[in-house]
A and B are shown apart, each in its own frame.
Chain A
């Protein structure tokens, strides 16, 4: 792989980099900045007024209602991380080590399910989790009491939806990490006298850490913004931050508030990202052997 050094005088570099950079700046960075700016404004009679004060921020920090919801959102996110990683790891491990012959087909199946319309999939879950839905129907025919599962419109239902939509991410990152582990390292551990379980904990697991951490962080950050699942599957019974934000735009038309809540959420996500990045960089060794 040859790397070409380029300077900004080179028109090819400008042509390649500038359009994308400009789009991102104009429609990603600037909106972010604008959001922060908006937190310092207020609304009067459903119209935005350009004052510059901290009124919204005092409101955000003083109302316990908001913090309950924020804490609940973070808790749900953390639970989601644990569940998705617990499910994704063995599956990724199996795909990387045991199912090499079918890996292409399985990957296609997973990607396809991932790309399918989220709303439709969530609707499918309604049909499954409903009191008279598929899950209860199957259980009833297996001999369990009818209408045993009552997962729709509960936090559990929300969590199922969240895990469902996000488990593909850590599966992908963990798989990539596992597949890059040199098979000889496992053999070297056996050769030194290690059992298969011991080898897993001494060699495989440590070397899959990059995939584990990046998958976990990804799930955490993305689940902060879960909207469909708590609203549709959870029935709005324990609203999360996303619901709060939507409300402040749609029903209460309080943009600064919505902006502030968004900033808080983004800040939580960014803090978590930064913490993990710092933690990952602290490891002094590289895990790559020189060529």
Chain B
């Protein structure tokens, strides 16, 4: 990446005997929206704090806007953070909260007032909120004040620490949309920490999946979804299917076979094979939305499985089926478009099929 705004290489962080980050490297471009995703304890929040300057790395190098950040305190960095619990100053008005950084930079009253009002506009907050105190605003409004406070000083990078984890589903959805629009409008680089991969896929240009202090995969949402590095990343976005197969190199790609499947298209093209394929155990990642019930003939090359309907869940826009296939430990999960007519009932013997071209070969 040509002159990234954040260039972190080999970041190591130890807390006493515990290593929270094992040599993490990441580059973030100007104007990019990057999400750090992973389960609790993966180190994503630690990395964010290191970017912000609240923690010093034990090892490695961090450059922001080309400057080495070693020893540079948070106050002097071109980053601003939106905290998980917002951390709005309860004893200051909305105007004082937002204008706090401007006051510290000794910006003139007139100019500061203008910039604060511009922020309120940007965040769709009413001007009469200026003199109110945080306790008098709703959760969503407080969110926006926290964003305004961070953006008013025009930082190079905006850091967000799970800002929407405390909100209810509906508020979360609307704020996510607003955040995406905000990013497009102002073009500042955003770094978002979240444990919700769906949220990351919706908002981010690139996603960095972390686990146990390591970076597992960095890529666009499409990369993460359709070409996950391993089963952990593939399974991180809800439930999915892994069909154990044997794989041997053949004809430029991989030839796969499974004892459960009637023969069909068996060659997997290289772009559908994970680059980090190992001998440890290969499986075919089959996304639930790519499987169908077979009522007539199979399509050419389609793989077929026989099983019995174990359960189904009506989710509104989709219906999820769980099929028990002999020889497979886990039930096969199917996601079908929702319909008032159910294609199968519990206990029914069924034949299901999927196109292996839509699958992805990976290892653990």
Task: Show the binding face of A for B, using Cβ within 8 Å.
Answer: 182, 184-185, 187-195, 198, 202-203, 206-207, 284-290
CB contacts under 8 Å to A, within B76-122, are: 76, 79-81, 83-85, 87-91, 93, 100-101, 104-105
**18 contacting pairs across A/B (C-beta < 8 A):** A184-B87, A185-B90, A187-B54, A188-B81, A188-B88, A190-B75, A191-B52, A191-B81, A192-B149, A193-B76, A193-B101, A194-B75, A207-B90, A285-B133, A285-B135, A286-B133, A287-B90, A288-B135
Which residues from chain A contact B38 at a C-beta distance below 8 Å?
Answer: none
B74 part of interface (Cβ distance < 8 Å)? yes
Bound Cα distance from A76 to B278, whole angstroms: 81
With contacts A185-B87, A192-B149, A194-B75 known, is A290 near B105, CB below 8 A? no
Which residues from chain B contact A185 at a C-beta distance below 8 Å?
Answer: 87, 89-90
With contacts A184-B85, A285-B133, A286-B133 known, is A192 near B100, CB below 8 A? yes
Chain B: interface residue total (CB-CB under 8 A): 29
Contact A191 B80 (CB under 8 A): yes
Contact B90 A289 (CB under 8 A): yes
Could you say which of B76, B81, B104 contacts A198, with CB atoms under 8 Å apart?
B104
Contact B80 A192 (CB under 8 A): yes
Residue of A nearest to B98 (CB): A192
Which residues from chain B contact A206 at a C-beta distance below 8 Å?
Answer: 91
Could you say which of A193, A203, A284, A288 contacts B89, with CB atoms under 8 Å apart?
A203
Residue of B nearest to A209 (CB): B91
Bound Cα distance from A187 to B91, whole angstroms: 16
With contacts A285-B91, A286-B135, A288-B135 known, is A190 near B83, CB below 8 A? no
B156 part of interface (Cβ distance < 8 Å)? no
Could you say which of A182, A207, A286, A290 contacts B87, with CB atoms under 8 Å apart?
A182
B308 part of interface (Cβ distance < 8 Å)? no
Residue of B nearest to A186 (CB): B87
Bound Cα distance from A187 to B150, whole angstroms: 12
- Identify the interface centre among B73, B81, B84, B89: most chain A CB within 10 Å of its CB: B89
Which residues from chain B contact A184 at a C-beta distance below 8 Å?
Answer: 83-85, 87
Distance in angstroms from A87 CB to nearest chain B CB is 25
Which residues from chain B contact A285 at a C-beta distance below 8 Å?
Answer: 90-91, 93, 133, 135
Could you say which of B91, B105, B149 contacts A287, with CB atoms under 8 Å apart?
B91
- Identify the interface centre among B53, B90, B134: most chain A CB within 10 Å of its CB: B90
Bound Cα distance from A48 to B358, whole angstroms: 105
B153 part of interface (Cβ distance < 8 Å)? yes
Contact B83 A187 (CB under 8 A): yes
Which residues from chain A contact B76 at a C-beta distance below 8 Å?
Answer: 193
Distance in angstroms from A83 CB to nearest chain B CB is 27
Which residues from chain B contact A195 at a C-beta distance below 8 Å?
Answer: 75
Which residues from chain B contact A189 at a C-beta distance below 8 Å?
Answer: 89, 100
Q: Chain B, 22-34, contact with A by CB distance < 8 Å: what is the 0/1 string?
A: 0000000000000
Could you say which of B79, B90, B150 contacts A286, with CB atoms under 8 Å apart?
B90
With contacts A187-B74, A187-B83, A194-B75 known, is A289 near B135, CB below 8 A? yes
Which residues from chain A contact B101 at a C-beta distance below 8 Å?
Answer: 192-193
Residue of B nearest to A192 (CB): B101
Which residues from chain A contact B81 at a C-beta distance below 8 Å?
Answer: 187-188, 191
Which residues from chain A contact B75 at a C-beta distance below 8 Å?
Answer: 190-195
What 10 A-B pairs come out closest when comparing CB atoms? A184-B87, A192-B101, A285-B133, A188-B87, A190-B74, A193-B104, A193-B75, A184-B83, A286-B135, A191-B81
Which residues from chain A contact B135 at a C-beta distance below 8 Å?
Answer: 285-286, 288-290
Which residues from chain B contact A193 at a C-beta distance below 8 Å?
Answer: 75-76, 101, 104-105, 153
CB contacts under 8 Å to A, within B8-44, are: none
Residue of B nearest to A183 (CB): B87
Contact A288 B90 (CB under 8 A): yes
Residue of B nearest to A190 (CB): B74
Q: Chain B, 45-73, contact with A by CB distance < 8 Å: what is the 0/1 string?
A: 00000001110000000000000000001
Residue of B nearest to A199 (CB): B75
With contacts A184-B83, A191-B74, A207-B91 known, is A289 near B52, CB below 8 A? no
Bound Cα distance from A232 to B54, whole angstroms: 53
- Identify the interface centre among A188, A189, A195, A290: most chain B CB within 10 Å of its CB: A188
Residue of B nearest to A184 (CB): B87
Distance in angstroms from B148 CB to nearest chain A CB is 12
Distance in angstroms from B155 CB to nearest chain A CB is 9
Contact B87 A192 (CB under 8 A): no
Bound Cα distance from A288 to B133, whole angstroms: 10
Bound Cα distance from A206 to B149, whole angstroms: 20
CB contacts under 8 Å to A, within B291-330, are: none
Which residues from chain B contact A182 at a C-beta distance below 8 Å?
Answer: 85, 87
Contact B133 A194 (CB under 8 A): no
- Known A191-B74, A192-B101; further 9 A-B contacts with Cβ < 8 A: A187-B83, A190-B54, A192-B80, A193-B105, A194-B75, A202-B100, A285-B91, A286-B133, A287-B91
Distance in angstroms from A226 CB to nearest chain B CB is 34
Bound Cα distance from A111 to B159, whole angstroms: 44
Which residues from chain B contact A191 at a C-beta distance below 8 Å?
Answer: 52, 74-75, 79-81, 150
Which residues from chain A contact B54 at a C-beta distance below 8 Å?
Answer: 187, 190
Which residues from chain A contact B53 at a C-beta distance below 8 Å?
Answer: 190
Which residues from chain A contact B80 at a C-beta distance below 8 Å?
Answer: 191-192
Residue of A nearest to B100 (CB): A192
Residue of B nearest to A181 (CB): B90
Residue of B nearest to A185 (CB): B87
Q: Chain B, 247-282, contact with A by CB distance < 8 Å: what is the 0/1 string?
A: 000000000000000000000000000000000000
Residue of B nearest to A287 (CB): B90
Residue of B nearest to A206 (CB): B91
Distance in angstroms from A213 CB to nearest chain B CB is 14
Contact B104 A192 (CB under 8 A): yes
Which residues from chain B contact A202 at a C-beta distance below 8 Å?
Answer: 89, 100
Which residues from chain A contact B150 at a C-beta distance below 8 Å?
Answer: 191
Distance in angstroms from B65 CB to nearest chain A CB is 16
Which residues from chain A contact B153 at a C-beta distance below 8 Å?
Answer: 192-193
